[in-house]
Amino acid sequence: MKLRVLIADDEPLARERLRRLLERQNQVTIVGECGDGVSTLESIRRDKPQVVLLDIQMPELDGLGVVEGLDDTARPAIIFVTAHDRYAVRAFEVQAVDYLLKPVDENRLAAALERARARSLSGSQPDWAQQLNSLIDELRPEARAGDRLAVKSDGRVLFVKFSELDWIEACDNYVELHVGATRHLLRETLSRLSERLPSQQFLRISRSVIINIERVRELQPLFHGEYCIILRDGTKVTLTRTYRSQLPRLGVGTG
Is the preceding omega at residue 221 within 30 degrees of 0, hence cis?
A: no
Indicate the helix (H) or strand (E) that contains 27.
none
Q: What is the pLDDT of residue 66?
A: 82
Residue, of 92 and 120, whose pLDDT is higher:
120
Average pLDDT of 169-191? 90
* Half-sphere CA count of 25, side-chain side, radius 13 A: 26
pLDDT in tens, 64-97: 778 777 776 567 888 888 776 555 544 444 444 6
8 A C-beta contact, residue 37 and residue 59: yes
pLDDT at residue 139 above 70? no
> In CATH, what number does 148-250 get?
2.40.50.1020
Lowest-confidence region among 137-151, 193-207, 227-241: 137-151
CATH superfamily, domain at 3-139: Response regulator (3.40.50.2300)
Average pLDDT, the chain: 82
In the chain, where are the structural domains located? 3-139, 148-250
Task: Please indicate whether residue 224 or residue 8 has the higher confidence score (pLDDT).
Answer: 8
pLDDT reported for residue 58: 80
> Which bin fits 19, alpha (ψ -120 to 50), beta or left (φ > 0)?
alpha
Helical (H) or strand (E) element with 28: strand 28-34
Q: Look at 64 and 139; give whichever has higher pLDDT.
A: 64
38-67 average pLDDT score: 86
